[in-house]
Structure 1
Amino acid sequence: MTRAYLGIGTNIERDKHAQVAITQLQRLGSHLQVSTIYRCPAAGFNGAEFYNFVIGLETDLTLSQFAAQLRALELAYGRPENAQKQQDRTLDIDILLFGDVIRQQSPQLPRADIFKFNFVLQPLYELCPELLVPGEGRTIEQIWQQQFLSIGGMSNLTAISLPLSDDY
């Protein structure tokens, strides 16, 4: 089993798609952890506010199988196949960490978003502060302590409560 951490984002029908992510990802693994869900502005473009959060889970899938399943999930819930960066999303699922894997090609691991965006680093810190980031030599907590304020701190993050539903 491999422990994976996923960054989840949605700014179209946010409640529905956040719930879909949680429900559907339970089917791809076990020992699911869900961080606080944060509402925050779109990063890099003018769009509706996003819900962003991190899910940790154990999976017995290979990285390529896992990535393919995540892509299929995004497409099944309305993401255009030719979606571009920096645009509105029904469901965006990024692999942040996949065990000890280090890769430069897609999916890049560890994902650079960990170091750039407070809406990724804060929820990741909540779930696994002591985790040593592969190839980095620092834990999530050390990265959080060293970089969190410089990438915005909590300034644009608002914790929200998601009404849970089994309708998806």
Structure 2
Amino acid sequence: MTRIFISLGSNIDAHTHIYNGLNDLAEELDNLMISTVYESEAVGFEGDNFLNLVAQADTELSIEQLVSLFKAIEQKHGRVRGAKKFAPRTLDLDLLLYGETQCELPVVLPREEIYHNAFVLQPLAELWPEGVIPGATVNLAQLWQDYKKQQKLWPIEFRWPR
């Protein structure tokens, strides 16, 4: 089993898409746990606020299989392939960490967004504060403490029963 961390985000019917996306992930992955869900303003474009969180799970799936699974779940929930990078999203699933793996393909791991986006780093640090990202020298709690908090996030109430 490999421990993985996944970023989830949505700004189109966000509660519904996040909730259903988590249910789909729980069907395919073991021991799924989630961070607090945070709301934030859209970054890079004018649009509705986003809901973001990080999920932790265990899996026997390979990185390639996970990428395919995430694309299928996104598509199931109305994600349009080939849309602009900075645009509204029904559901966005990104693999952040896959155990201790560092790679460039099929995706870059650890994912760079960890270091650049509060909506990724804060919930990741919440789930695994003592964790050290492969290639980093300090733990996630320290990374979050040192992060220049320019983007505003606020926790929201979100109930997911699993």
Shared fold (TM-score, shorter chain, > 0.5) = yes
Number of corresponding residues: 162
Counterparts of 2:153 and 2:104, CA distance in 1: 29
Q: Which residue of 2 aligns with 1:18?
A: 18
The aligned counterpart of 1:161 is 157
Unpaired stretches in structure 2, ≥5 consecutive residues: none
1:92 corresponds to which letter in structure 2?
Answer: D
In the TM superposition, what are the counterparts of 1:1-150 in structure 2 within 5 Å?
1-147=1-147, 150=148
The whole-number CA distance in structure 1 between the counterparts of 2:160 and 2:123 is 19
Over residues 2-40 of structure 1, what are the superposed CA-to-partner deviations in whole Å (9 max), with x where a residue is unaligned? 111011000000110110121111012111110000110
Which amino acid is the alignment partner of residue 37 of structure 1? V
Task: Show structure 1 runs of 4+ deviating over 4 A.
Answer: 163-166
| C-alpha contact 1:118 1:151 (8 A) present in aligned 2 | yes
Q: Structure 2 vs 1, CA of residues 123 and 2 (structure 1 numbering), >3 Å: closer, same or farther?
A: same
Structure 1 residue matching 2:155: 3-state secondary structure:
strand
Q: Is the 8 A contact 2:3 2:99 kept in 1?
A: yes
TM-score (norm 1): 0.91
Residue type matched to 1:115 in 2?
Y
Distance in 1 (CA, whole Å) between partners of 2:108 and 2:149 is: 20
Query: How far off is 1:164 after superposition?
Result: 4.2
- Preserved contact between residue 132 and residue 139 of structure 1 (Cα < 8 Å): yes
Offset at residue 138 of structure 1 (A)? 2.1
Q: Kindly indicate whether the alpha-carbon contact (under 8 Å) linking 2:53 and 2:120 is maintained by their aligned counterparts in 1.
A: yes
The percentage of aligned residue pairs carrying the same residue is 35
- In 1, Cα distance between the equivalents of 2:11 and 2:26? 21
Q: Structure 1 residues 82 and 128, CA, compared in 2 at 3 Å: closer, same or farther?
A: same
Mean Cα displacement is larger for which, 105-114 or 53-62? 105-114
Conserved in 2, the CA contact under 8 Å of 1:42 and 1:48? yes
**CA deviation after TM superposition for structure 1 residue 84, in Å:** 2.2
Distance 2:134 2:159 in 1: 35
Check conservation: 2:7, 2:96, Cα contact below 8 A: yes
Distance 2:142 2:57 in 1: 22
Partners of 1:164 and 1:29 in 2: CA distance: 16
Give secondary structure in 2 for the equivalent of 1:12. coil
For residue 96 of structure 1, give the secondary structure of its aligned residue in structure 2.
strand
Change (3 A) 1:83 1:106: farther
Offset at 1:62? 0.5
Q: 1:161 corresponds to which letter in structure 2?
A: E
